[in-house]
Structure 1
Amino acid sequence: MERTSSPWTVSTRTRGSQVLLILTLAIVLLAALAPLFAPRAVIQDLFFILTMLVLAQCWNLLAGYAGLVSVGQQAFVGFGAYAMFAGVSLMGLDPLAAIVLGGLAALLLSVPTAFFVFRLHGAYFAIGTWVIAEVVRLLLAQWKALGGGTGTSLPSGATRDMFGVRFVADLLGVRGPQATDIVCYWLALLLTVATIGLIYKLLRSKQGLGLAAVRDNREAARSVGVDPLWTKSFVYLVVAFVTGLAGAIIYVQKARISPDAAFSVPDWTAYVIFIVVIGGIGTLEGPIVGVIVFYLLQNLLADYGSWYLLILGLIGIAVMLFAPRGLWGLFTDKTAIQIFPVRRILAGQRNDDRGSA
């Protein structure tokens, strides 16, 4: 008996998205080559954009796809950064290895905290994550070996001797501090590409479907065999690890840390939420748009002092009122263009249109 295959297929890609994806890869290649022609100030600005984008993508995965609205992501940024400092200052590790240690430390922190916060829901979950971040900040402020409440700096020459820095300095003919910035920039670019790729792959998988089901209706998801607790726990742990890596990279570049800076709510949570909200929550493209808009606003409004935060707040409110799905959502509604499509599309042709052999 001759077996016939179904004429219908399920796809997430469109011809337009494939073209845009190729264009995106070209932009990434150009970004990788930026240190060859861009001045140091531009590299530092790009580093800021990339690290904030990583943090925004992580928060977006939690809130936009898993329904876990956290206001305590600074806990993983700060803990990962402090673990990196401990690895370099107390254990004598290369900063590159200490960055990995920072990610693993944040992952370990997320395990016990998950047992606490997952007993909470809605606003209580958000408040719980903030409380945990404050507790971790207060505890690390007592760590005298790393400066206590006033903080500390990396040992002299630690970043200069980091793996790859001397090679970059000789290759590009730049001084040590600029070579350190370039290495940190490349690490941030690598982490950004890996983070977006990981999230995109996750959302296009069966686990991504389960994640969306849990976000929309926990009981319905459980009825079709999806374990809500396991699904959300997996996302929470992954986000903690990536956020810890980002925090460690940020403070390798800064080379100085203090509890107030490493656990800053505005820097590592409020700004991140603003980026995701104005860009478009629940989309991979939204944080990319949001971080560009945020960077431009930060430079335009930097001279306005305390009015800066007020204006950002007003802009955020305006976007939520007139474009609830963010700027990218508004753009997509009008053009149907997507760079990273994750929605399943049923495609194929009718049986009577197919030729017979």
Structure 2
Amino acid sequence: MTTTRTDRAPVAAPRVRRGGRTAWVGAGLAVVVVAVLGYLPFLTTRGTQVSLVGLFSLVVLGTMWNLLAGYGGMVSIGQQAYIGVGGYGLVYLASTVGVDPFLAVPVAAVVCALLAWPTSYLAFRLNGGYFAIGTWVIAEVVRLLVTQVDALGAGSGASLTGFAGIDPTYRIAYVYWMSLGIVVLVVGGVYLLMRSRLGLALTAIRDEPTAAGSLGIGVTRAKRVVYVVAAAGCGLAGAMIVANTLRVQPGSIFSVDYSAMMIFIVVIGGIGTIEGPVIGALVFYALQDTLADLGNWYLVVVGVVAIAVTLLAPKGLWGLTRGRVDLFPTGYRVG
């Protein structure tokens, strides 16, 4: 006669969690880094602060392009349209209308968002490579329209005179702190967005939009929200750039080079991660600062680095951690 044992220990249910010890480490590290960066104007020269504002703008641009392509599945090469609108918006509001320049920065970003909403109805009629080309065409149209407006300096550009009454030392420090605040807002905002229900929907849309739509996810609506948010973020970056240089010209602020920079930053750092664009921006900034004197060879070196990372680390530099380190977790883990 055989008997069956019924006193086996119950099997523990799988534990679904988000984050963990590394997430707390990431949060603490972020607070320390921001605190140190916030104190830097008291320790460094004005030239260093100006350079760091340039780095901050790269982080914002990379984060916004990663939001579009890495999370939203939209490969755009026309985000320079909103960079230019943000820069010109700051100049017009602060120099012509008389709005405080620091208040004009978020207003310019709102203008970019308002412009992006109707523009998305045109861009979303295209898919894949046609969408990428279409965004570039839209950016060129915006550039041509701006060059026809005399109040914006037409084709010769315009200067930002809204800071005229502020001592240069204080102006540079204020712009630096404003830019640091924008970086924290943008990176933190994308992190929280990707931890929300919309972020989960975006992950599904990126992987398979048809299947996501069949499950009741509003694919077009979610993509439109991302497109508008990314436009506002690029507008903030454009305003940061102009506040830092005090000059805007259509040939530079609407340059497709910005799209190339964003793609390089995200691909090098790691697409589809919060940390990737930050790492990519640091690498690009270091290359730009070190190799700027090489002329055209600088572009060759950047291209070689991009090819090498793509071949040796397809998931970017942050992907080399192989998921062992997740400072800003956005998904769930079972374990």
TM-score higher than 0.5: yes
Q: Secondary structure at the match of 2:16?
A: strand
Residues in 2 aligned to 1:20 and 1:228: alpha-carbon distance in whole angstroms: 31
| Whole-Å separation in 1 of the counterparts to 2:178 and 2:95 | 21
1:32 is aligned, of 34, 38, 41, to: 38
**Does the Cα contact within 8 Å between 2:160 and 2:242 map onto a contact in 1?**
no
> Is the aligned partner of 1:299 residue 2:289?
yes
Alignment partner, residue 300 of structure 2: 310
1:8 to partner: Cα distance: 5.6
TM-score between both structures, scaled by the size of structure 2:
0.93
Within 5 A, what are the aligned runs for 1:3-22? Answer: 9-22=15-28
Q: Give, in angstroms, the shift of residue 9 of structure 1.
A: 4.9
Aligned match for 2:262, one of 272, 291, 298: 272
Give the structure 2 partner of residue 120 of structure 1.
126
Tell me the residue number matched to 1:153: 159
Instruction: List gaps (5 residues or longer) in structure 2.
Output: 1-11
In the TM superposition, what whole-angstrom CA distance separates every residue of 1:76-104 from its partner, at most 9, and x where no partner exists?
00011111111122211111121122101
Report whether the alignment pairs 1:321 with 2:299: no
Is the contact between residue 204 and residue 212 of structure 2 (CA under 8 Å) also seen in structure 1? yes
Matched, 1:216 2:207: yes
Task: Give me the CA root mean square deviation.
Answer: 1.5
| TM-score, with structure 1 as normaliser | 0.88
Matched, 1:184 2:175: yes
Which residue of the partner structure matches residue 339 of structure 1?
A: 327
Q: 2:85–2:112: 8 Å Cα contact kept in structure 1? A: yes
Q: Distance in 1 between matches of 2:234 and 2:16?
A: 33
Local SS of the residue matching 1:68: coil
Query: Please, which of 281, 284, 291 is the counterpart of residue 271 of structure 2?
Result: 281
User: Which residue of structure 2 aligns with residue 94 of structure 1?
Assistant: 100
Deviations for 1:265-314, whole angstroms, at most 9, x for unmatched residues?
Answer: 11x21112111111111111111111111111112211111111121112
Letter in 2 for 1:219: T
* Residue in 2 that maps onto 1:353: none
SS for the counterpart of 2:97 is coil
Contact 2:83 2:238 (C-alpha < 8 Å) held by counterparts:
yes
CA distance, structure 1, for counterparts of residue 109 and residue 195 of structure 2: 25
Q: How does 1:39-54 map to 2 (within 5 A)?
A: 39-54=45-60
Paired residue for 1:71, among 67, 77, 90? 77
Matches within 5 A, 1:104-253: 104-155=110-161, 158-161=162-165, 176-253=167-244
Taking the aligned partners of 1:89 and 1:38, their CA distance within structure 2 comes to 29
User: Which whole-Å deviations, capped at 9, do the CAs of 1:37-59 have from their partners, x for residues lacking one?
Assistant: 11112211211111110011000
Q: Secondary structure at the match of 1:43?
A: helix
Secondary structure of 1:229's aligned partner: helix
Whole-angstrom distance in 1 between the partners of 2:15 and 2:44: 45
Aligned with 1:326: secondary structure? coil
CA separation in 2, counterparts of 1:47 and 1:89?
A: 21
Does the aligned pair in 2 maintain the 1:99–1:248 contact within 8 Å? yes
Q: Is the 8 A contact 2:53 2:240 kept in 1?
A: no
Q: One-letter code of the match for 2:264?
A: F
Match of 1:57 in 2: 63
In 1, the alpha carbon distance for the partners of 2:190 and 2:122 equals 25
Could you tell me whether the CA contact under 8 Å between 1:160 and 1:180 is conserved in 2? no
- Partner secondary structure for residue 90 of structure 1: helix
Percentage of matched positions with identical amino acids: 44
| Preserved contact between residue 94 and residue 101 of structure 2 (Cα < 8 Å) | yes
Deviation per residue, 1:221-250 (Å, 9 max, x gap): 112110100010011111111211221122
What whole-Å deviation, never above 9, does each CA across 1:98-127 have from its counterpart, x for those lacking one?
112210111111012101110111110000
Partner AA of 1:346 in structure 2: V
Matches of 1:96 and 1:325, distance apart in 2? 38
Deviations 1:120-151 (A, max 9, x none): 11110000000000000011011112211111
SS in 2 for 1:72: coil
1:263 — aligned with what? 254
Give ranges in structure 1 of 5+ residues lacking alignment: 1-5, 166-175, 348-357
2:175 touches 2:244 (CA, 8 Å); kept in 1?
yes
